[in-house]
Structure 1
Amino acid sequence: MAGNRNSGRKPLPANVHAIRGNPSKLPAHELAGGQGSQPQIQAEIPPCPAFLSKDAKGEWKRIAKDLQTLGLISKLDRGELAVYCQAWSDWKRAREKITQLEDSGFVETTPSGYKQMSAWMQLANRAEERMRKAGSSFGLNPSARASLGPGTAAQGELFPNEQAETAEKYGL
């Protein structure tokens, strides 16, 4: 079998495609809602879940505005951002505990005398995996950011432009 519907690269959202500098040279009307494109969802910050830890809420506040500015977040992304922020909080807590325990934070000795990775180190590693996986959805790690390409959006495109919006409104 040559492939199925899951073969190949995942399609990019239009805003990420535009941030990359439109490498496929698609016409603007196809990027903005042409045939086969995804529905346009307004970039807005979803409400922060109340159950997140204090550190996770701090990370949410730190990063959400930047993601909105870049058009990489909507209200639909609440769960994915919550996973990232809580994973960051868990990772931070585990790393603080490892630092506090010094050398014993890395390796534990079992009752039978064997050495193994400490529970705190295991927690830190798992939280880091969750953080990397969820963060890559938003371009929050170097490899995910590299896929956005060097030609990120120009500064003038990141902020509201009343003249450009008026021209677009009237088809100019």
Structure 2
Amino acid sequence: MVNVAGRKAKPVNLHLLEGNKSHLTKEEIEKRQKAEESLTLKSDNIKPPTWLDSEGKKTFRKLIKEFEEIDLLVNVDVYMIAMFCDAYSDYIECTKIIQDEGKLIEHTNKAGETNRIPHPLLTKKSHAFNQMKAMASEFGLTPSARTKLIQNMQVEGDNEDNSFSGRV
């Protein structure tokens, strides 16, 4: 089966950051920028979903407060941030239980023998960590993710200093 979908479309500013390899004219660039601006999403309803537990809501509010400084989030980002906060809450809960019960627990098998096995919540804790790690990079919640954002912003700023002359 052949994939006929082609490449994903890129925002025009990203296209310009990468060097305008398609050689878009100034008019084409302005037309795309206007079209992208018309798709700007609202950011007037960013609050924690009711299904988050208290730890998740607390984390959500802390993150949103930090993001307000850079005006990055819009309403549709609420769900991804909430999923990060939910995974964080699960991670904390697993950690507390494992600290209380120990990393190894006693397990009696079908033959009646008792063995010490790794705590089952270690797997859930690892899964929650992987979820947080994946979403953290999407929102710049790690040093390396922030560095990438900063580099893109610097390149974009450099491109804005250059004036267009016909083709870019």
The residue aligned with 1:24 is: 18
Q: CA contact under 8 A between 2:94 and 2:125: conserved in structure 1?
A: yes
Say which SS state the counterpart of residue 129 (structure 2) adopts: helix
Gaps of 5+ in 1: 154-172
What stretches of structure 1 move > 6 A for 4+ residues in a row? none
User: What is the letter of the counterpart of residue 34 of structure 1?
Assistant: Q
Q: Given the superposition, is the C-alpha separation of residues 50 and 66 from structure 1 closer, same or farther in structure 2, using an over 3 Å criterion?
A: same
Q: Given the superposition, is the C-alpha separation of residues 82 and 129 from structure 1 closer, same or farther in structure 2, using an over 3 Å criterion?
A: same
Report the CA distance between 1:87 and its aligned residue: 0.7
Structure-2-length-normalised TM-score: 0.63
Query: Normalized per residue, which structure has more helix?
Result: 2
Report the CA distance between 1:99 and its aligned residue: 2.1
Gaps of 5+ in 2: 21-25, 155-168
Q: CA contact under 8 A between 2:12 and 2:32: conserved in structure 1?
A: no
How many residue pairs match? The answer is 142
Moved more, 137-146 or 86-95: 137-146
Structure-1-length-normalised TM-score: 0.62
Distance 2:85 2:30 in 1: 30
User: What is the letter of the counterpart of residue 105 of structure 2?
Assistant: E
Identity %: 17
What CA RMSD, in Å, does the superposition of the two structures yield over aligned residues?
3.6
The residue aligned with 1:125 is: 126
